[in-house]
Amino acid sequence: MRLQRRRESVHKTTRTATVLTAILGLVLGTASCSGTPTPDPAADSAAPAAPAATAPTAPVPPPAPPSDTSDASATLPDDPDTFPRVGTRPLGWGPQQRDATAAARAVAAMTPEQRAGQVLLPFYRGLDHEAQAARIERLHLAGSIIMADNVPGTPDGRVDTAAMHGVASRLQAAAQAGGRSWPGLIGVDQEGGVVARLRAPLTEWPAPMSYGAAGSGPLAGEAGQAMASELAALGFNTDFAPTSDVTMGPADPTIGARSMSGDADAASGFGVAFSQGMLAAGLLPAAKHFPGHGSVSVDSHARLPVQGASLEQLRARDLKPFQAAIDAGLPMVMTGHIAVPALEPGVPASLSGAAYAELRSMGFQGVAVTDALNMGAVQGPYPHDSAAPLALAAGADLLLMPANVEAAHAAIIAAVRSGALPPERLAEAAQRVVTMMIWRARTGAGPGTAPGSGSGLSREVSAAAITVLAGPCDGPIVPASVRLTGGSAQDRARFAAAARNAGISIGAGPLVSLIGAPAAPQTPADVAVALDAPWPLAHSTAPARIALYGRSQGAFDALAAVLAGHARAPGKLPVAVGAQHPGTGCA
């Protein structure tokens, strides 16, 4: 009953947020709710049959885009409730006219160098936080993203949470140097599963595909809020999550179990619910990777993928979760390094004017942030951070992780001086970012929660997601002793601990095989367990086949409980696995 009440509370919170943004949009005359298993694998850096349970409210048709733009230095109206026309309309997801007016005034007073800084969110290497703080101050940067190698640790390999809070506070102070009244962006990639820059003692979450398998929008919302609350307590205010991509299956080398579902409607509903949970905890989410990275067979970390689908095909599938995010009033959309010939042949969407025009035509009024500009898909064709001014000229508002932020900053200033980047476009981008952060400062955030406070919920997610594709749905699947193969040393240790607690010993009996990477060789086994995405099970001949969608201790606890017959496996496949259709699982 406690869990049910908590889920109902989160569901009520997210539903209320949607209603409030709808009311705000009507008051302002705008559309209501309309508008990345290897180190750092992402730069970033209701079952499918019932997605309506988490569907956002019906969108109001978006307003027509402004017919013209004017320089942010134009004379501002005396009435603070009159929205200054600088190429940005009032945002339906939260900011009010006073936020945009304050941002316009702030940007109008900036030098070109300051404006260029406000559209750059850099990374840095290692633990020299003071050097990064000095860089932020010198270049007037929007803030900083924290990657895994920036996270201070303890001798036993855990996150030093007190030191991490100190780092975030220092970088935040640098971002507000010079009298800026709005906070800087202190961001991270924390999705759950393989993409998690901060590990223990923070809660370890299973792969996002777990939410699609569990089929519960309220559970996804509750998980988003719990994850974000732990990050907020450490000083973060931005998380480049969730992955809104719809995965096409085993031919998808990049997204995989980072996708919540292979069904566009289900991915839409769960993505919105997770994002609204994040917002409820005070973190800014970013739906990624527009126009969809889950249906291309090339990894943009290495080279440029090409999406050959027509616009009609994209709108029927890959774009659906982004439309849902826009309709729900989410603040940021991340553009991916994916060439779409139907939009602009040979040009990554992150640098394509046609791609940004498509995004805005969908009603998006928030901040368009690029995927990391140090990725292979961009660094090869656009060396020396020449992509930075090109992305801004195309329509990006925030540039994530240029390879060299000093070079990117200089390239932006040079482009403005040469006329290649119109100054009003730079001002518009800076104003969108500053508006978002002024709103974020005004609305504030809760105090956050202690590291690890979501561990019980993480276990519940895995227990709700675990899926039996073959084998008994009731009673024990294995006897009191099993043999074990596959997985990593940590996987096997966690399985052993969970099995022991469930009354199962390791040493003799049927063979349980833990399967990680899709291409990993498989040992003939009695029980095959896919730890991440479930597609390897299509090639297994094991009598019992189970999809786990995660490697956390909580996931292995759920597995052991099912193997011992202490619990049923309620999850349903969110993707096709060989001949087994989505929705397969125990009744």
Number of other CB atoms surrounding residue 410 within 10 Å:
18
Sign of CA pseudo-dihedral 529, 533, 534, 539: negative
What is the DSSP code (8-state) at residue 538? G
Tokens of 149: 């190698």
86-115 burial code (b ≥16 CB/10 A, e <16): bbbbbbbbbbbbebbbbbbebbbebebebb
Query: Which one of 301, 327, 337, 385 is the catalytic residue?
Result: 301
What is the DSSP code (8-state) at residue 253? S
Closest alpha carbon to 126 in 145, 146, 149:
149
Q: Is 371 a catalytic residue?
A: yes
Report cis status (omega within 30 of 0) of the bond before 337. no
Closest alpha carbon to 430 in 394, 399, 462:
399
Q: How far is CA 405 from the centre of its chain?
A: 23
Can you list the alpha helix ranges (DSSP code H) found in 257-379? 264-280, 311-316, 320-327, 353-361, 376-379
Q: Is 301 a catalytic residue?
A: yes
Token look-up 């940004």 returns 356
Q: Dihedral (C-alpha) 488, 489, 493, 495: value to the nearest 10 degrees?
A: 20
Task: List the strands of the sheet with 544-547, edge to edge.
Answer: 467-470, 544-547, 527-530, 505-515, 481-486
CA–CA separation, 285 and 282 (whole Å):
9
CB neighbour class for 69 (10 Å; exposed up to 12, middle 13-18, buried from 19): middle
Can you list the alpha helix ranges (DSSP code H) found in 308-374? 311-316, 320-327, 353-361
Query: Which one of 263, 371, 397, 557 is the catalytic residue?
Result: 371
Tokens of 19: 């209603």
List of long-range contacts for 582-585, beta carbons under 8 Å, 24+ apart: 582/48, 582/261, 582/262, 582/263, 583/47, 583/48, 583/49, 584/467, 584/469, 585/213, 585/467, 585/468, 585/469
Which residues are known to be catalytic?
A: 301, 371
